[in-house]
Amino acid sequence: MVNVLINGYGSIGKRVADAVSMQDDMKVVGVTKTKPDFEARLAVEKGYKLFVAIPDKERVKMFEDAGIPVEGTILDIIEDVDIVVDGAPKKIGKQNLENIYKPHKVKAILQGGEKAKDVEDNFNALWSYDRCYGKDYVRVVSCNTTGLCRILYAINSVADIKKARVVLVRRAADPNDDKRGPVNAIVPNPVTVPSHHGPDVVSVVPEFEGKIVTSAVIVPTTLMHQHTLMVEVENNVSRDEVLESIEKTPRIIAVKYEDGFTSTAQIIEYGRDLGRLRYDINELVVWEESVNVVDNEIFLMQAVHQESIVIPENIDCIRAMLQLEEDKFKSIEKTNKAMGIK
């Protein structure tokens, strides 16, 4: 059992903590918070050892005053861990890397809010597991990039990709976020085309350099992102071959519009009906009817549950970096089985 510390127990961090707890080759030795709020209290009630993320006496006192027991600060546990999964907000992960993880020589996984250039490599289980094997500082790419990497893996398995064009419709905020918008508008974000999402895929799959162009807007929804892909390929491929490859690729599910999956709302309802923890849909979801091939160009639409798609990737990334399993497909299978992923 390797020791994992979750530094930043928010949307991503709490899910990674629960996913680590479901595995038989790793355990959570602690989680951190900066604020003594209900999430901190619940973490303790769940049995996680709680540490204060910012090493300062005043912060520790805030937790004591709120009656939330803490074991100390991050500096009291950092030397005892095999790896840290950083779940801190965008840009703080890099600060933690430079100020805490590197000086203490602890392996660390950063999340998609950080920059590709600030780590040794960029992780997606299907594409870069082998490359990240044994590395010290790796970023699990964002939810959008993870979704694109999975579908491009499925397409790449049956066709040589010439050019992928993607339009991303992004959720405005996570459900727990009462600060961000828009509430009633469609916002080109970024307004420049191409957007940064293409280069982010290239950070995982360098051979896609010059082959992927993305643009993105933000819309008033909290549930999921939606992508429309147009992928030109070099060879003839049939719709059935594409669908079969999607079926075979781990962590992708195809759903039918005619079965009632008429929007992201129904996909989330499916997660609720399955009794998934926090109604998470860790799989990339492709609408079967949207898959079509016209003149060597593949078209499809997919949905990404932003809060949970990267969670199994974090688990496989731990296994790769700590060299717990050489074979990426064995790690993916192990993670999926433990988490109940289809």
Contacts of 121 by beta carbon, 8 Å cutoff, 6+ apart: 128, 131, 132, 135, 138, 139
Distance CA 111, CA 328 (A): 20
Choice from 23, 33, 68, 253 touching ligand NAP (CB under 6 A): 33
Question: C-alpha dihedral over 40, 42, 44, 48, to 10 degrees?
Answer: -100
- By beta-carbon proximity to ligand NAP, the closer residue of 32 and 336 is 32
- By beta-carbon proximity to ligand NAP, the closer residue of 198 and 245 is 198
Among the residue ranges 16-24, 76-84, 86-94, 200-208, the one whose residues contact ligand NAP (CB under 6 A):
86-94
Of the candidates 58, 55, 51, the one whose C-alpha atom is nearest the C-alpha of residue 96 is: 55
| Active site members | 143
Asked if residue 92 binds ligand NAP (CB under 6 A), the reply is yes
Choice from 22, 44, 54, 277 touching ligand NAP (CB under 6 A): 54
Please list every residue from 106 through 145 that binds ligand NAP, using CB under 6 A.
111-114, 142-143
Distance CA 333, CA 342 (A): 10
- By beta-carbon proximity to ligand NAP, the closer residue of 93 and 312 is 93
Among the residue ranges 9-17, 147-155, 204-212, 327-335, the one whose residues contact ligand NAP (CB under 6 A):
9-17
- By beta-carbon proximity to ligand NAP, the closer residue of 86 and 288 is 86
Q: What does the block give as tokens for 256?
A: 């039918």
Distance CA 289, CA 291 (A): 6
Q: Closest separation between CB of residue 143 and ligand NAP, Å?
A: 4
Asked if residue 331 binds ligand NAP (CB under 6 A), the reply is no
Residue 303 amino acid letter: A
Asked if residue 11 binds ligand NAP (CB under 6 A), the reply is yes
Among the residue ranges 183-191, 213-221, 278-286, 305-313, the one whose residues contact ligand NAP (CB under 6 A):
305-313
- By beta-carbon proximity to ligand NAP, the closer residue of 219 and 243 is 219
DSSP 173: S
Please list every residue from 258 through 297 that binds ligand NAP, using CB under 6 A.
none
Distance CA 10, CA 15 (A): 8
Asked if residue 89 binds ligand NAP (CB under 6 A), the reply is yes
Asked if residue 174 binds ligand NAP (CB under 6 A), the reply is yes
Choice from 5, 6, 8, 229 touching ligand NAP (CB under 6 A): 8
How many residues are present in the chain? 342
Among the residue ranges 61-69, 84-92, 188-196, 214-222, the one whose residues contact ligand NAP (CB under 6 A):
84-92
Asked if residue 104 binds ligand NAP (CB under 6 A), the reply is no
The DSSP secondary structure of 209-272, one letter per residue, reads TTTEEEEEEEES-SS-EEEEEEEEESS---HHHHHHHHHHSTTEEEE-GGGT--SHHHHHHHHH
Distances (CA, A) of 15 to 83, 126, 340: 16, 21, 14
Neighbours of 160 (CB within 10 A): 11
The DSSP secondary structure of 109-122, one letter per residue, reads EE-TTS-GGGSSEE
83-86 and 2-7 strand pairing: parallel
Number of Cα atoms under 13 Å in the Cβ half of residue 190: 8
Asked if residue 164 binds ligand NAP (CB under 6 A), the reply is no
Choice from 3, 25, 35, 243 touching ligand NAP (CB under 6 A): 35
- By beta-carbon proximity to ligand NAP, the closer residue of 249 and 308 is 308
- By beta-carbon proximity to ligand NAP, the closer residue of 172 and 255 is 172
Asked if residue 7 binds ligand NAP (CB under 6 A), the reply is yes
Asked if residue 84 binds ligand NAP (CB under 6 A), the reply is no
For ligand NAP, the binding residues (CB under 6 A) are 7-13, 32-35, 53-54, 87-90, 92-93, 96, 111-114, 142-143, 174, 306-307, 310
